Amino acid sequence: MTSEALPRPVHRSRFSLFRVFAFIILTILALVTIYPFVWMVLTSLRDARSVFAGPFFPNPIIFTNYPDAWVQTQFGSHFLNSLIVSVVSLAGILFLSITAGYGFAKLKFPFKNVIYVLLLSTMAMPAASLIIPLFLQVKSIGLLNSLWGLILVYVGSMSPFSIFLMRSFFEGVPDELIEAARMDGSGEWYTLFRVVLPLVRPGIGTVVILQFLSIWNEFLYAAVLIQSTDKQTLQPTIFHLNGRYATNWTLLAAALTMAILPIVVIYVNMQKQFVAGLTQGALKW
């Protein structure tokens, strides 16, 4: 036995047959998973006629599909709409989850458990079950077809999960620290924002990544609550593109590439945080 002190199941040789077999499988999986993206980008760089008959690698490579897609689909304004909705919703969710998460983790007050259980039960509620009354509610307060209506719905429906997350991060903060702050005379709100908050930065990072991604990718609420095209966010726009440009694959591929580019760029650069955030979010269940 080799004397490795590493947390892995030990194999006698680095080149065992099993290892070769595993490597082949992983390679195939990785390539198969990534291939649709490769195809998509290549298609976006083609002339429309060479999509089906042309060679694998487009020759010549043309970039005109991108400006075409940008202009024809008004990509910029929809992108902006999504950005506005995501950032503002995120701000709201952060505020609610930090305050409520701290309150549930560290403070004692009446009805604490009842409120917590009720809040948590919302995580099991599917959007499909809420969409009809939410549509009617938003309509009745006059915020239908408004980005604000969508923002409110996102904050209301996605906060419970973030509250749950932040609570578990806050529970890791030692009570003595909070006691010390209390003895120095600071009130609860001050304690939270000045003393405790810096300690839960990983938690905040997790919430930001998870929620931004969820809001950016969300489709059902965005499609139902916003009707006019100029106010639409990105995902419903792509849905309509799928129908309208069903046969114009090069344009569609360019639009799709543009749609995923920001997320992919952020992801590749912040991989560690991404993966950590998602797994922590999932494991803290």
Partner 1 sequence: MADIAVKQTLPRRLGAYILGKPRDRQERLSGLSMTLPAFIFFVIFIGISITRTLLLSFQSWDAIGPATWVGISNYVNFFGDKVFSHALLVTLLLTAVLTVLLSTIPMLIAVLFNMKWGIFGTTYRTMMFMPSIISMVITAALWRMILDPNLGIINSLLGNVGLVNLQQNWLGDEHFVLYSILLVTIWQGLGLYVIIFYAGLQGVDVNLYEAAAIDGANGWQKFVNVTVPMMRPVNLMVLTLNLLNGIKMFDVIWVLTQGGPVNASQTLGTDMYRVTFANPGLPQFGYGSAISAVILFLCVLAVLFQIEMNKRKNT
How far is the C-alpha of 215 from the C-alpha of 204, rounded, in Å?
Answer: 16
CA distances from 140 to 134, 137, 149, 158, 275 (A): 10, 5, 11, 21, 40
Note the Cα 222 to chain centre separation in Å.
Answer: 15
Phi-psi region of 192 (alpha: psi -120 to 50; beta: other; left: phi over 0): alpha
Residues 30-59 that bind partner 1 (CB under 8 A): 30-31, 33-34, 36-37, 39-40, 43, 51-52
Instruction: For residue 71, state whether it binds partner 1 (rule: CB under 8 A).
Output: no
How far is the C-alpha of 91 from the C-alpha of 70, rounded, in Å?
Answer: 28
Instruction: For residue 127, state whether it binds partner 1 (rule: CB under 8 A).
Output: yes
Instruction: For residue 15, state whether it binds partner 1 (rule: CB under 8 A).
Output: no
Minimum distance of partner 1 from residue 153's CB (angstroms): 7
| Size (the chain), residues | 285
How far is the C-alpha of 184 from the C-alpha of 86, rounded, in Å?
Answer: 38
Instruction: For residue 283, state whether it binds partner 1 (rule: CB under 8 A).
Output: yes
Nearer to partner 1, 99 or 146 (CB): 99
Instruction: For residue 131, state whether it binds partner 1 (rule: CB under 8 A).
Output: yes
How far is the C-alpha of 244 from the C-alpha of 237, rounded, in Å?
Answer: 10
Residues with Cβ within 8 Å of residue 43, at least 6 apart in sequence: 51, 249, 250, 253
Instruction: For residue 249, state whether it binds partner 1 (rule: CB under 8 A).
Output: yes
Q: Which of 9, 55, 60, 198 binds partner 1 (CB under 8 A)?
A: 9
Instruction: For residue 11, state whether it binds partner 1 (rule: CB under 8 A).
Output: yes
Q: Which of 94, 152, 207, 254 binds partner 1 (CB under 8 A)?
A: 152
Nearer to partner 1, 199 or 263 (CB): 263
First to last CA, the chain: 38
Residues 166-225 that bind partner 1 (CB under 8 A): 182-183, 185, 187-189, 192, 213, 216-220, 224
Q: Quick check: 158 and 211 in contact, CB under 8 A?
A: yes
Nearer to partner 1, 168 or 235 (CB): 235
Minimum distance of partner 1 from residue 83's CB (angstroms): 15
Nearer to partner 1, 108 or 230 (CB): 108
Minimum distance of partner 1 from residue 69's CB (angstroms): 13
Nearer to partner 1, 139 or 201 (CB): 139
